[in-house]
Amino acid sequence: MITRRTLILTFATSTFFAGTLALSALAAPKQSDAIAMLDTDNDGTVDLAEAKKAASAVFDKLEKDNDGTLDKRELARRFSAKELAAADPDHDGTLSKEEYLAAVEQRFHAADPDNDGKLDAKELNSKAGRSLLRLLK
Q: What confidence category does residue 86 fall into, taking pLDDT thresholds of 50, 70 and 90?
A: very high
For residues 137 and 130, what is the distance between their CA atoms, to the nearest angstrom? 11
Tell me: the pLDDT tens digits for 93-109? 999 999 999 999 999 99
Q: Tell me the C-alpha distance between 26 and 75, whole Å.
A: 29
DSSP run (H or E) holding 119 = strand 118-119
The model's pLDDT over 58-85, given as tens digits with 9 standing for 90+, comes to 999 999 999 999 999 999 889 999 999 9
User: For 6-39, what is each residue's pLDDT tens digit?
Assistant: 656 566 566 655 555 444 444 434 546 888 899 9
Q: What is the DSSP letter of 86?
A: H
Give the model's confidence band at 132: pLDDT under 50 very low, under 70 low, under 90 confident, else very high.
Answer: very high
For the chain, domain boundaries: 29-136
Reported pTM: 0.75
| Domain 29-136 homologous superfamily, CATH | EF-hand (1.10.238.10)
